[in-house]
C-alpha cells in the first residue's frame, strides 16, 4: 500500500510489513509530528502540540485502514491510502528546487606571509592572505606544534 500526501513536494510512503516498507503506524506518527511541529496558533487553539499530535494520530489511525481511505488533516492536507501500483509505474514528482547559498563569500587568492604571534594570542602562527574581494587579512591561526609532518605518518596505515 502507498500513503500519499497530496502536496507537490512530498514523496509517497510505501507502507506494509515487508523489510523495505514502513509500518503504517510509524508513518502516521511521523506525519502527525510534522503537522504538530509546524502548527501555528490557529491549529493549536488553546491546546498543546502534544495534544494536537495525539489527536491527529488517533484520527489518522481510524481513517486510514484500507485502500481508498482518505484523511484531511487540520492543516487541510489530504492523505490517501492506495493500492501499490506495479513497480516503475508510480508518478514521480521532481521535488528539487533552486537554492541560493546567499552572497558569494570571498576565497583566498594568494598567501602573502606567515607570522609568529605573541604568547597572548590564541595561537602561535598565522597566515595572512589576499582575498578575492581585494582585502588582506588573517585567514588562519594555529599553534605551530599542532601541525603534522610526513614523519607523523611513518609506520601508520
Q: Is residue 97 part of a domain?
A: no
Q: How far apart are CA 13 and CA 96, in angstroms?
A: 18
Q: Which of 82, 100, 122 is the last residue of a domain?
A: 82
Q: What is the pLDDT of residue 10?
A: 78
Q: What is the pLDDT of residue 86?
A: 46
pLDDT in tens, 18-65: 888 889 899 899 988 888 887 777 777 777 888 888 988 999 999 998
- Provide the grid cell at 26: 510509524
Higher local confidence (pLDDT), 130 or 93: 130
Shared-domain flag, residues 9 and 69: yes
Q: Are the C-beta atoms of 126 and 117 separated by less than 8 Å?
A: yes
Q: What is the pTM of this model?
A: 0.51
Q: Which domain holds residue 27?
A: 2-82
Amino acid at each position: 500500500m502507498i500513503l500519499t500526501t497530496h502536496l507537490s513536494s512530498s514523496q509517497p510512503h510505501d507502507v506494509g510489513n515487508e523489510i523495505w516498507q514502513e509500518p503504517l503506524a510509524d508513518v502516521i506518527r511521523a506525519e502527525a509530528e510534522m503537522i504538530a511541529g509546524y502548527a501555528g496558533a490557529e491549529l493549536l487553539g488553546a491546546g498543546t502540540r502534544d495534544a494536537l499530535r495525539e489527536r491527529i494520530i488517533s484520527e489518522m489511525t481510524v481513517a486510514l485502514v484500507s485502500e481508498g481511505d482518505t484523511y484531511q488533516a487540520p492543516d487541510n492536507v489530504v492523505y490517501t491510502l492506495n493500492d501499490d501500483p506495479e513497480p516503475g509505474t508510480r508518478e514521480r514528482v521532481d521535488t528539487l528546487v533552486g537554492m541560493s547559498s546567499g552572497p558569494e563569500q570571498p576565497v583566498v587568492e594568494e598567501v602573502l606571509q606567515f607570522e609568529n604571534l605573541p604568547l597572548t594570542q590564541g595561537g602561535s602562527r598565522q597566515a595572512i592572505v589576499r582575498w578575492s574581494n581585494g582585502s588582506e587579512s588573517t585567514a588562519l591561526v594555529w599553534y605551530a606544534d599542532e601541525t603534522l609532518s610526513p614523519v607523523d605518518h611513518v609506520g601508520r596505515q
